[in-house]
Amino acid sequence: MRPEQTFNFLVTPQEVDFTKKQRVANLVSCILNTAGLAADKHEFGMPQLIPRGLAWVLSRFSLEIVDFPSEYENISVKTWIEDVNKLVSSRAFEVSNSSGQILAKVSSLWAVIDVHTRRPVNILEMLDVKKFIAGQLSNIATACKIEPFEGQCLKKHQVVYSDTDFNKHVNSVKYIEWAMDTYDLERFAQEHVCAIHVNYLQEAMFGEEISVFGTTRNEHDYFEIQNKQQKGLARIRIEWGKR
């Protein structure tokens, strides 16, 4: 089986905003769904891990966007494993339209945890992943670390049913939605997101009250999602470009 795999998606009306382009969170959903489908086909996906008390968790995610897919556009998401060690696996993605134009590139880091202890396990001991390493097939920068920063509270939110995943924790995409929801529509009319970087630090749980803190530095917007104990759950950097 080839180490790189491609999956196709249709951009539906429910996924676009008033510009008729796919929203950031929905594009990220397609990308993360691709990761799950690819792992399943190589037999180290969630259906294989959960019975063993293991699960993949996303650690870092960097998305560089050339253009967003349009409503009713068919897109292809290609993915491959660039490298793996005992603690993390690096997985890359390319999003293309039906003409073959590359719309976005992604670098991501993943760990495998014990679902009972929530501690990372040795990937190389637990999974037969190394034979699927494809190396660096595209010029994609490694998912970056976002350092702590001081910001002001922009919004508060109580985690509800629609925020959670199969594990009763907050879905990875929701942190991005919470940050994007701090902007007004005028920002999206004048500019578009050209890059988004996310560091996942700790899982939020159902019923928790979270706060979104934000600031702007060097023309980039920074967000930190915190719980009531002021522990960072995720840090996000968003970069904008003119339409």
pTM for this model (two decimals): 0.94
Question: What are the residue ranges spanned by the domains of the chain?
Answer: 5-132, 152-242
Q: Which residues pair with 5 in a beta bridge?
A: 79
Digit-coded pLDDT (tens) for 163-177 = 998 878 899 999 999
Digit-coded pLDDT (tens) for 51-86 = 999 999 999 999 999 999 999 999 999 999 999 999
Sheet (strand 209-217) strand order: 5-10, 74-84, 89-97, 102-114, 54-65, 191-200, 232-242, 220-226, 209-217, 152-158
Asked which of 10-24, 105-119, 128-142 is least confident by mean pLDDT, the reply is 128-142
Which candidate, 36, 190, 193, places its Cα nearest to that of 103? Answer: 193
Query: In this structure, which CATH number among 3.30.365.10, 3.20.20.70, 3.10.129.10, 3.40.50.720 belongs to the domain 152-242?
Result: 3.10.129.10
Number of helical H runs and strand E runs in the chain: 5, 10
Question: What is the separation of C-alpha 59 from the centre of its chain, rounded to a whole number of angstroms?
Answer: 9
What is the four-CA torsion angle of 54, 142, 190, 152, rounded to 10 degrees? 70
Q: Which residues pair with 197 in a beta bridge?
A: 62, 237
Interhelix angle for 172-180 vs 24-41, to 10°? 170
The CATH-assigned architecture of domain 5-132 is Roll (3.10)
Write the DSSP assignment of 60-88 as a string of letters. EEEEEES-PPBTT-EEEEEEEEEEE-SS-
Contact between 192 and 238 under an 8 Å Cβ cutoff? The reply is no
Digit-coded pLDDT (tens) for 144-166 = 899 999 999 999 999 999 999 88
